[in-house]
Structure formats: C-alpha cells, structure tokens
Amino acid sequence: MSIERSIDTNKKTLTIAIDGRFDFEVVKDFRNAYSEASDIEACIVDLRATEHMDSSALGMLLNMKKSLGEKVNISIINCRPAIKKILTISRFDKKFEIE
Amino acid sequence: MKILIVEDTATNRTLLTWILEDNGHEVIEAADGKEGVEQFKAYQPDLVLMDVLMPVMDGVEATKQIRSHLGNTHVPIIFLTALSDDASLTKCLEVGGDDFISKPINEQVLKAKINAHSRIKELNEQLSKQNIELTRLHQLTQQEHIIAKKVFETAFSASLLDSSNIRHYISPAANFNGDLLLTAISPSGSLYGLVADFTGHGLPAAIGALPLSKAFFDAASRGDSVSSIAKELNHDLGEFLPDNMFAAAAIAEMNANGSRLTIWMGGMPDALLTNPDGKLKQTIQSRHMPLGILENDEFERDCYVINVDPGDRLYFYTDGIPEALNSDGIMYGEKRLLEHFNGRAADPFDSLIQDNISFTGAQSQADDITILELICKPVETCPYPRPQDLALSQIIPWNFSTTLTVDELKSCTSPISKIVDFIGNDNVLGSHTDYIFTILTELYSNALEHGILGLSSEIKKTDDGYLEYYEQRKVRLKELQEGQIQVSLSFRRQSEEGILAITMIDSGKGFAFDTKPTTNEHDSCGRGLSLIKSLCHWAEYSENGSRVDLEYRVNLSR
C-alpha cells in the first residue's frame, strides 16, 4: 500500500497514484500528496493499481476537492469496475471527471 | 581388406591371390563376370579387381551390374587390362570403374593402387556416415521448427482478444522467426497491445516468448502502466535469455475511453498514427534499446503520451514488412509502406497487406510479418471471462459465521479480507467479491468505529477533523480491552436468484444510525450507509445500530 506522487512541471499536472487499498490507512499520505502542491492546474488520481476503496476514500477525495478549490480540475482515471461503481453510486461523476 | 578377383585366367588369379594374401588381404575368386557378380553379392568385398575380356560375361557388364546392385554405396572397382586404346578404357570408366592396372601386373603398382582406393573408400564411408547424421539432424531441426511454430501459434493466437478495437495480421515465415503479438485488458478496462520481434529463429526465439508473454499478462492483470510493463519485461528477458538474445518491442496502452495512447518502443520500426481517413498524423520512433539488453538501473522507461481523436488508428508492425524482398532481391521499403497512409487508401491496413503480398509474389517469405492496428474509441470487450454456465442444481447453500474478538479487531490486516477469501471460492459469488468486500468493509467500519470504539462521524466534518478521526481510531483501537463483532453469512438459492444474507452484530452500545440527516453531497462523511444500501437488495440496522442485516442478490438466469 503506497501513494506515489509525480508532477509534470510543463503541464502543471499533479498525478497521485494509489497502490493497493484506498482506505483510511492512507488518510495522511493522501493528504500530504496534494497539500503542498500550489499553482497546479489539474490533478489526476490514477487508480490503476487500486484494488479496493471504501467510503473513507470518498471522503478523502472530497476533502481534496475542497482543499484544491474549483479551479483545479480533478480527474480520476483507470478505475476498475468495482471502484467505478462505488464512485458512480456515490454520484462522484458530478464533481470529478471519471475516466 | 576383402578383395574379389574376377579373372578368367587361372594362373593370373593364383598369382594375384598370392600377392594379396601375402599383404594380409582376404581373397575371393571368380572365373568370369557372371560368377563375379554372384560372388560380389554373396561376400560383399571391399574392393574388386576386374578383368575386362572374359567368357560368359565380360568385365564391363559385370561392373555395370555390381554398380546397380550397390546403389549409393561405394566399392572401388579396378580394371585389370591389357587393352590400351582410349575408347575401351573410357568405356570401362563410364560403366563405373574407378581405375586401371595394366597387365602384366606390377606388384608395387597393385599394392599402391589398392592402398589409394582403400583410403578413398574410407573417406567415402565417413562422408556417407556424416551425411546420414546430417540428414537426421536436419530433420530434427525441421521438426523443432514445426513444434515451435505450433506451440507458438496455438498458445498465443488463443490469447488474442476479440475486440472491435483491434485488428491484426500475423504471417509467420515457413520457419518460426520470433514475432509475438499480445493483447490484454487491464482491470480498469484499458487495452494493452504488444508487438515484439525476437532475435534468432526457431526454438530459441519461441522459448524467449514464453517468459515475455507471462510477464506481460501478469502485468496486464495488475493494471501496470506501460513504463512499468516495459521495465518488467526488460528485467525478465535479461534474466531468462542469454546475452545475444533480445527482443525489439512496441507496447501501447489505450485508456478505456480510447482518448489517450501511452507508448513505449525499443528497436522497432516507426509506429504510425493516422486519422480516421487513414492519413498519417504522426510517426512515432523507437527511442529505446530492445528489451533484454540493459540492466535495471540503465533502463529508460519514458513513454510517449498522445491524446488522440475518436477513430484515429495506431499501427505497429515488425521489420518483416519493409524488409520483404521480391524475386529480384529488391526490398519493399519504407516509401512503399508509407504510400498506404497518404489518406487515399480506403483501408490502409488491408491495402498494405495485399500490396506487400503481391510485391513478394512467389518469393517465399523470409521473415515473420506482424501488424497490429489499434482503433481509438471506447474499449469494447468483455474485461472478465463470462461466468461459466452453472447448473442450478450445482449451487449449494452454505453458512459461515465467526466471532471476531479483540485480538482480531486489533490485527493490522483487516479480518474482512480473510472472510472474502473464503467467499471467493464459491462458484456463484466468486465474481462478486469486489462488491461483497465493499459491503463487508463498510459494515465492519461502522461496527468497529461507531459501535465498539464509540467514534462519532461529527468529527469528520472538516479536513483536519478527518485526520483527527482516524488518529483517534488508531489510539482507541490500541487501548481496546473488550468487544467483539459477530459476522454471519449464509447463502441460498431461491429459484433463479442466489441470496447472500449478511448479519453483523457488535458488542458496542450502538450508534445513531437513523438520526443522521440525509447526507449533503459536499460532506465528506456519511457515505458508507448509502453505499451499502445501493449495493444490496435491502439492509436494515436494528438493536440501536449494533446489529445490521442485509441481503445481496445475484441473478442466476442469463
């Protein structure tokens, strides 16, 4: 379980990739991954390696959205079907770009 | 040596026999050509001394018959002759004689010639032995090539996805030359394509393809990124293959909605990206060394990331296409290839293949040819194999129940994973474990956090509170002295539905499960319950929130 953070300086895009389970165990790491980013225009949450997520992860995403503000476009990419279903059930497609 | 003397004059025969026997040879005698042929067949001598003019059958005819009897085996036949005219001598050689000795016979010359011919015969025998061995080896190699090709074609063609996003063309050369085409779907629904070309031919190349494909499918099932896949394959090939073997490769991933390509290429011909009309938009060059050469720390994993428009097409091909030769030894070449991508060909994929085939004509194909076309649009394929047809009678009901005590609750790995592992073995629920895991995890979080640990969701309302909540969870769990959570699962079939009933009871004081106002969509908490409810058929909290019952249903009719 780990959080990997990479930034593309040209495009001002922050990418956060979550490996394994996206749940309360990574609350702190996840927050650290975006809290120091300033001046970014877009944020990508790459869930390609995320096997499961729970409702605490939904909360984390919403907190991130609040913290980064409306100007930063957040997209959640590479979701597995079960994760996509959780996001859709929770209507996250309204606030995030889910790919 | 065993020597046959065919000579009608008895004194000559006796004289020759003495000389030869003195030199340690074994001698068989015949008085005319006919007897000579018979003796030859009976005793299989190593060398024949043959008179030319004899009654019954002359030496020329006897030689003819012996030669036809021998076929490809070589036994020297030396004519003994008083004749000296060129025509007669030529005739003797024409029917299969190897040499002459003039009569009267000189003992020294006879001995020298016998030695010379015995050397030739030995060489001949060696050669024919080696020939047989060579033929055997050649057949073995041919056989291996056939096996390699067969293994390869069946093993890998079966794994190609049936997807409307992919078209491919594979034309192996007569001998397997090491082209490999693999496709796979990631857990998130993106599409991977790999085209590789191994150095070497036949079995060695096929052997290299096995670890490569295994590593590829493993990585694909984990949903690895293209750069990770490239790194992984490079590592595996480096480990498995000898230094002189490596694989040029192109790896692409198209995201699930078909709007983005990520490409890594090493040692491959340029990849082509066209618009929907088949007009070239972009040429993508290999920027890396082939797989299996560089060490892990030298390996460069950077990829092309290309945003594409709907209907764009990506082409990977192996060098068998541009390097195809026609009967004049002229190469097909890059220029001819690119002409199919000027937007005028109705279907570049087809027209390239047809043109390449008619260019090489009757010339046999020297190298494997592989082309992969990825069509950029939302990925259409079944990401998981369809559940197999299950006879309803094969579905058996079962119960599972466990009581988790403080020890298990404190364990750093969630006991829910273990329980879900059990369920994963069920032939109906096996493909639903993701959802069941989510349901059980949410139930368990509620039972543990609100029930046993007495945490209130109110804390979570702010960003800092969110962290605070989980900090407190950690602390309280560590200090926990007593408490238990009882989990019961029971599965049964009711006509064409499979029903999983879940009950979870915690020893806590309960929590205000129903007083919570409807969740505001901006709130970062209170989503667990609605998540559970939307995944289940029904769910109900009771006993002040310390007990929850729900049903998860699976439709068994299809």
Q: Among B224, B225, B431, B438, which would you mutate to test the A interface (most chain A Cβ atoms within 10 Å of its Cβ)?
A: B438
CB-CB under 8 Å, A59 with B460: yes
pLDDT score for B460: 81
pTM across the whole model: 0.58
* Nearest Cα residue to A19 out of A8, A29, A9: A29
CB-CB under 8 Å, A58 with B524: yes
How many angstroms separate the CA of residue B516 from the nearest CA in chain A? 16
Instruction: Please classify residue B48 by burial: count the beta carbons closer than 10 Å to its beta carbon, then call 0-12 exposed, 13-18 middle and 19+ buried.
Output: buried
Q: Which residue of B has its CA nearest to A48?
A: B223
What is the C-alpha separation between B383 and B188, in angstroms, rounded?
Answer: 9
Q: Which residues of chain A have pLDDT under 50?
A: none
Q: What is the pLDDT of residues B52-97, one digit of tens each?
A: 889 889 999 999 999 999 888 889 999 998 877 788 788 888 888 8
CB-CB under 8 Å, B531 with A55: yes
What is the three-class DSSP state of A19? strand
Q: Which residue of B has its CA nearest to A98?
A: B257
User: Identity (one letter) of the amino acid at B203?
Assistant: L
Nearest CB to B531: which of A77, A81, A89? A89
pLDDT score for B50: 93
pLDDT digits (tens), chain B, 558 positions = 899 999 999 998 999 999 999 989 999 999 999 999 999 999 999 999 999 889 889 999 999 999 999 888 889 999 998 877 788 788 888 888 899 888 888 889 889 999 999 898 889 889 889 999 999 999 988 887 777 777 776 666 656 677 889 998 888 776 666 788 899 988 878 899 999 998 866 666 777 787 888 889 888 888 888 888 999 999 988 887 777 788 999 999 998 888 888 899 999 999 999 999 999 999 999 989 999 888 888 888 778 878 899 999 999 999 889 988 888 888 999 899 999 999 888 899 999 999 998 898 877 777 788 999 999 999 886 544 444 556 777 788 999 999 999 999 988 778 898 898 888 888 788 778 888 888 999 999 999 999 999 988 888 877 788 888 989 999 999 999 999 999 999 999 888 888 999 999 999 887 766 544 444 555 555 677 888 888 888 888 888 889 999 999 988 875
**Distance from CA of residue B506 to its chain's centroid?**
52
Cβ–Cβ < 8 Å for B515, B507:
no
pLDDT score for B385: 47
* Contacting residues of A for B190, CB less than 8 Å apart: 48, 78
pLDDT score for A11: 59
pLDDT score for B297: 85
* Nearest Cα residue to B526 out of A24, A59, A26: A59
CB-CB under 8 Å, A95 with B521: yes
CB-CB under 8 Å, A63 with B466: yes
Please give the full DSSP string across B172-185, using - where no structure is assigned.
--SS---EEEEEEE
Specify the DSSP class assigned to residue B365: P
Residues of A with CB under 8 A from a CB of B: 23-24, 27-28, 31, 47-49, 52, 54-56, 58-60, 62-63, 66-67, 77-82, 84-86, 89-91, 94-95, 99
* Nearest Cα residue to B519 out of B511, B527, B528: B527
* Contacting residues of A for B442, CB less than 8 Å apart: 54-55
Residues of B with CB under 8 A from a CB of A: 186-190, 222-225, 255-257, 383, 434-435, 437-438, 441-442, 445, 460, 463, 466-467, 470, 473, 521-525, 527-528, 530-531, 534-535
